[in-house]
Chains A and B, each alone.
Chain A
Amino acid sequence: MAAIDTAQRAQTLVRPWTPARGYALLLLAPAAVLAIFFIWPLVQVVIRSFVEPEIGLGNYARIFATTTYLRVIANTMTLAATVALVTLVLAYPVAWMVSGARGNTLYFCLALILIPFWTSVVIRTFAWMVLFQRRGVLNSFLVSSGLIEQPLRLMHNSVGVHIGMVHILLPFMILPLLSSMRSIDPTIMRAASVLGANPLRQFVHVYLPLTMPGVSAGVLLVFISALGFFITPALLGGPQNMTIAVLIEQQTSRLLDWPMASALASLLLAATALLYLLYDRISRHLGAAGVLGG
Chain B
Amino acid sequence: MKQRQHLNRRSLLASAAGIAVVLPVMGFPTVLRAKPERMTIPNPGGALEEALKAAYFKTFTEKTGIEISGAPYADTAKIKAMVENNAVDTDVIFTDAADAAMLAKQGLLEPIDFSVVDKSVLIPEAVHEHYLLADVAAYAMAWNTKSMSDDKRPKTWAEFFDPAAKPGQRSLWKYAAQTLEVAAMGAGQSRDKLYPLDLDAAFAKLDAVKGSLTWWDSGAQGAQLIIDGETDVGTVWNGRLYKPRKDGAPVDYTFDHCLYVCDSIVVPKGARNKAEAMTFIANFTDPKNQAVFCKSIPYGPVNPATFPLLDSETKAALPNAPENAKTAVFQNFGYWADNGAKIIEQFNKWLLG
Interface residue ranges, A against B (CB under 8 Å): 66-68, 71-72, 75, 133-135, 156, 234-235, 238-240, 242, 247, 250, 252-258
Q: Do the beta carbons of A134 and B352 come within 8 Å of each other?
A: no
Q: Do the beta carbons of B341 and A66 come within 8 Å of each other?
A: no
The residue of chain B having its C-beta at the shortest distance from the C-beta of A257 within the complex is: B341
Interface residue ranges, B against A (CB under 8 Å): 75-77, 80, 99, 102-103, 106, 169, 174, 214-215, 217, 221, 228-230, 340-341, 344-345, 348-349, 351-353
Tell me, in angstroms, the Cα distance from A71 to B350 when the chains sit together. Answer: 12
Enumerate chain A residues within 8 angstroms of B230, measured Cβ to Cβ: 133-135
Q: Do the beta carbons of B352 and A255 come within 8 Å of each other?
A: no
For the complex of A and B, the 10 pairs showing the least CB-CB separation, nearest first, are A239-B351, A253-B77, A234-B217, A68-B349, A253-B75, A133-B230, A134-B230, A252-B77, A255-B341, A253-B76
Q: Do the beta carbons of A68 and B228 come within 8 Å of each other?
A: no
- Of the candidates A75, A250, A252, A254, the one having the most CB atoms from chain B within 10 angstroms of its own CB is A254
Q: Do the beta carbons of A66 and B103 come within 8 Å of each other?
A: no
Tell me, in angstroms, the Cα distance from A60 to B162 when the chains sit together. Answer: 40
Tell me, in angstroms, the Cα distance from A238 to B215 when the chains sit together. Answer: 7
Enumerate chain B residues within 8 angstroms of A133, measured Cβ to Cβ: 228, 230
Q: Do the beta carbons of A242 and B75 come within 8 Å of each other?
A: no
- 10 further A-B contacts with Cβ under 8 Å, apart from A68-B352, A254-B76, are A68-B349, A75-B352, A134-B229, A135-B230, A156-B214, A234-B217, A239-B174, A239-B215, A240-B351, A256-B106
Enumerate chain A residues within 8 angstroms of B340, measured Cβ to Cβ: 254-255
Enumerate chain A residues within 8 angstroms of B106, measured Cβ to Cβ: 256
Enumerate chain B residues within 8 angstroms of A135, measured Cβ to Cβ: 228-230
Q: Do the beta carbons of B353 and A247 come within 8 Å of each other?
A: no
Residue among B99, B102, B221, B344 making CB contact with A235, cutoff 8 Å: B221
Can you list 7 A-B pairs, Cβ within 8 angstroms, ordered by A? A66-B345, A67-B349, A133-B228, A240-B352, A250-B348, A255-B340, A256-B76
Main secondary structure of the interface of B (DSSP, over half): helix
Q: A100: shortest Cβ distance to chain B, in Å?
A: 43
Tell me, in angstroms, the Cα distance from A72 to B347 when the chains sit together. Answer: 13
Q: Do the beta carbons of B103 and A256 come within 8 Å of each other?
A: yes
Tell me, in angstroms, the Cα distance from A235 to B228 when the chains sit together. Answer: 15
Q: B27: shortest Cβ distance to chain A, in Å?
A: 20
The residue of chain B having its C-beta at the shortest distance from the C-beta of A134 within the complex is: B230
The residue of chain A having its C-beta at the shortest distance from the C-beta of B229 within the complex is: A135
Enumerate chain A residues within 8 angstroms of B215, measured Cβ to Cβ: 156, 238-239
Tell me, in angstroms, the Cα distance from A240 to B217 when the chains sit together. Answer: 14
Enumerate chain A residues within 8 angstroms of B229, measured Cβ to Cβ: 134-135
Q: A279: shortest Cβ distance to chain B, in Å?
A: 27
The residue of chain A having its C-beta at the shortest distance from the C-beta of B340 within the complex is: A255
Tell me, in angstroms, the Cα distance from A289 to B228 when the chains sit together. Answer: 57
Q: Do the beta carbons of A72 and B80 come within 8 Å of each other?
A: no
Enumerate chain A residues within 8 angstroms of B341, measured Cβ to Cβ: 255, 257
Residue among A71, A234, A258 making CB contact with B352, cutoff 8 Å: A71
Q: B179: shortest Cβ distance to chain A, in Å?
A: 12
Enumerate chain A residues within 8 angstroms of B353, measured Cβ to Cβ: 239-240
Tell me, in angstroms, the Cα distance from A161 to B215 when the chains sit together. Answer: 14
Q: Do the beta carbons of A247 and B348 come within 8 Å of each other?
A: yes
The residue of chain A having its C-beta at the shortest distance from the C-beta of B16 within the complex is: A29
Known contacts: A133-B228, A134-B229. The answer to whether A256 contacts B352 by CB under 8 A is no
Q: B91: shortest Cβ distance to chain A, in Å?
A: 21
Q: Do the beta carbons of B352 and A239 come within 8 Å of each other?
A: yes
Enumerate chain A residues within 8 angstroms of B348, measured Cβ to Cβ: 68, 72, 242, 247, 250
Tell me, in angstroms, the Cα distance from A133 to B341 when the chains sit together. Answer: 33
Enumerate chain A residues within 8 angstroms of B77, measured Cβ to Cβ: 252-253, 256, 258
Enumerate chain B residues within 8 angstroms of A255, measured Cβ to Cβ: 102, 340-341, 344
Tell me, in angstroms, the Cα distance from A186 to B353 when the chains sit together. Answer: 53
Enumerate chain A residues within 8 angstroms of B174, measured Cβ to Cβ: 239
The residue of chain A having its C-beta at the shortest distance from the C-beta of B75 within the complex is: A253
Enumerate chain B residues within 8 angstroms of A258, measured Cβ to Cβ: 77, 80
Q: A38: shortest Cβ distance to chain B, in Å?
A: 17
Tell me, in angstroms, the Cα distance from A67 to B352 when the chains sit together. Answer: 10
Enumerate chain A residues within 8 angstroms of B80, measured Cβ to Cβ: 256, 258
